[in-house]
Structure 1
Amino acid sequence: MDRMEAVLNEWIWRADLWLPPGTGWEDMEVDPEQGHIPRPRDLTYSVPLTLAFIACRCVFERVVAVPLSRLLGVKDRVRVQAVANPKLEAYYKHNSRQPSENEVSNLSKQCGLSQRKIQTWFRHRRNQDRPTNTTKFCEATWRFVFYLLSFIVGLSSLIKTPWFWDSRECWKGYPKQPVADAHYWYYMLELGFYLSLLLCVSVDVKRKDFREQVIHHIATIFLIGFSYCSNYVRVGTLVMLVHDSSDFFLESAKMLHYAELTCICDTLFVIFAVVFLFTRLVVFPFRVVHSTLIVSLDFFEPFFGYYFFNALLLVLQALHIFWAYLILRMVYKFAFAGKVEKDERSDEESEEEDEQELEDEGDGGNWELSKDSINTKLAILANNCVLNNLTSQRSINSRLPKAR
Structure 2
Amino acid sequence: MYILAPLSRALGIPRGKTERFTEQGYAVAYFGFFGALGIYVMSGLPIWWYNTAAMWDTFPVLEMPALLKAYYLLQFSYWLQQTIILAARVEKPRKDFKELVAHHVVTLWLIGWSYLTTLTYIGVAIFVTMDVSDIFLALAKCVNYVSESASVPVFAFFVCVWTYMRHYLNLKILWSVWYEFELIPESARTSFRPWWNENELMNGWIQNHIFLPIFLLQLINLFWYFLILRILYRAVFGNPLADERSDDENEREVAEDVQEIEDEKADLHAKTQ
Which consecutive residues of structure 1, in runs of 5 or more, have no partner in the other structure?
A: 1-61, 77-131, 356-404
Quote the residue 1:90 is aligned against: none
Return the letter of the residue paired with 1:72.
Answer: L
2:153 counterpart residue number: 267
In 2: Cα distance, 1:342 partner to 1:148 partner: 23
Q: What per-residue deviation string (whole Å, max 9, x for no partner) do you get for residues 258-307 of structure 1?
A: 233742x222211110010122221110x211122220123266332321
2:165 aligns to what? 279
Tell me the distance in 2 between the aligned counterparts of 1:305 and 1:176: 15
**SS of residue matched to 1:352:** helix
Q: Which has the higher helix share?
A: 2
Q: Is the 8 A contact 1:209 1:345 kept in 2?
A: no
Residue equivalent to 1:345: 244
Please report the TM-score for the alignment, with normalisation by the length of structure 2.
0.78
In structure 2, C-alpha distance between the alignment counterparts of 1:199 and 1:298, rounded to whole Å: 38
Match of 2:13 among 74, 79, 91: 74
Specify which of 186, 206, 228 is matched with residue 327 of structure 1.
228
Q: Relative to 1, partners in 2 of residues 1:72 and 1:281: Cα closer, same or farther, differing over 3 Å?
A: same
Partner in structure 1 of residue 42 of structure 2: 158
Larger RCO: 1 or 2 (CA < 8 Å, sep 6+): 2
Q: Which residue of 2 aligns with 1:141?
A: 25
Match of 1:168 in 2: 53
Superposed displacement of residue 200, structure 1: 2.3
Aligned partner (choices 63, 72, 81) of residue 2 of structure 2:
63
Alignment of 1:248-267 (within 5 A): 248-260=135-147, 262-263=149-150, 265-267=151-153
1:262/1:332 Cα in 2 relative to 1: closer, same or farther (>3 Å)? Answer: closer
Following TM superposition, by how much is the alpha carbon of 1:346 offset from its aligned partner in structure 2, in angstroms? 3.3
- Give the equivalent residue in structure 1 for 2:98: 211
3-state DSSP of counterpart to 1:162: coil
Q: How far off its partner does 1:324 sit? A: 1.4
Which residue number in structure 2 is paired with residue 313 of structure 1?
Answer: 214
Please give the secondary structure, in 1, of the residue aligned with 2:143. Answer: helix
- 1:97 paired residue number: none
Q: 1:204 to 1:174 in 2, by over 3 A?
A: same
What does residue 243 of structure 1 align with?
130
What TM-score, normalized to structure 1?
A: 0.54
SS in 2 for 1:175: coil
Contact persistence 1:223–1:312 (CA under 8 A): yes
- 1:293 and 2:192 correspond: no
Corresponding residue of 2:107? 220
The 4+ residue runs of structure 1 with deviation greater than 4 A are 341-344
Output one character per residue of 1:356-382: Cα deviation in whole Å (capped at 9) or x when no partner. Answer: xxxxxxxxxxxxxxxxxxxxxxxxxxx
CA contact (8 A) 2:95 2:246 kept: yes
Quote the Cα distance in structure 2 between the aligned partners of 1:303 and 1:273.
35
Confirm or deny: 8 A CA contact 2:113 2:209 kept in the other structure.
Answer: no
Aligned residues: 235
3-state SS of the aligned residue for 2:93? coil
Structure 2 unaligned segments of length 5 or more: list them.
190-199, 256-273
Higher Rg: 1
Contact 1:242 1:284 in 2 (8 A): yes
